[in-house]
């Protein structure tokens, strides 16, 4: 997904909303894949019920912390790697979601600053 450069005009508000929607859907897709992977891992390795696996996956992905005790070595190894992945994934998903909004703000500020120098 490409954003306009500083030499281009700011896109219209309806097009901006479509862009935010696209980026939002992409971020939602990344979050969904991450939660599914975590749920499957906690169910398989941690021997948790589906709802507990889903709950644990969501809590780890958002940085809230574990909610169930893991007893096996495999479950603890999976949980460690999922926690490391989740830290990077959460920040990346947040960055993807806010990228068009921050870009538009910076683009508006730069355009206004450029108009004063002309």
Distance between CA atoms of residues 70 and 65, nearest Å:
13
Angle at 90 between CA 26 and CA 50, to 5 degrees: 85
Exposure on the CB side of residue 101, measured as CA atoms within 13 A:
9
pLDDT on residue 118: 45
Distance between CA atoms of residues 98 and 114, nearest Å:
24
All structural domains of the chain:
13-99 (1.10.287.70)
pLDDT on residue 33: 97
pLDDT on residue 108: 84
Q: Look up the pTM and report it.
A: 0.82
Stretches where the chain sits below pLDDT 50 are 118
65: left (phi over 0), alpha (psi -120 to 50) or beta: left
pLDDT on residue 1: 65
Torsion angle, alpha carbons of 66, 69, 71, 75, to 10: -20
């Amino acid at each position: 997904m490409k954003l306009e450069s500083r030499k281009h005009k700011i896109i219209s508000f309806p097009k901006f909303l479509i862009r935010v929607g696209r980026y939002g859907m992409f971020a939602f897709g990344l979050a969904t894949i991450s939660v599914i992977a975590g749920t499957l891992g906690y169910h398989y390795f941690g021997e948790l019920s589906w709802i507990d696996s889903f709950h644990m996956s969501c809590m780890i992905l958002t940085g809230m912390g574990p909610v169930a005790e893991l007893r096996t070595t495999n479950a603890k190894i999976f949980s460690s790697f999922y926690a490391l992945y989740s830290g990077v994934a959460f920040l990346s998903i947040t960055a993807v979601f806010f990228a068009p909004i921050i870009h538009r703000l910076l683009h508006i500020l730069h355009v206004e600053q450029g108009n004063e120098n002309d």
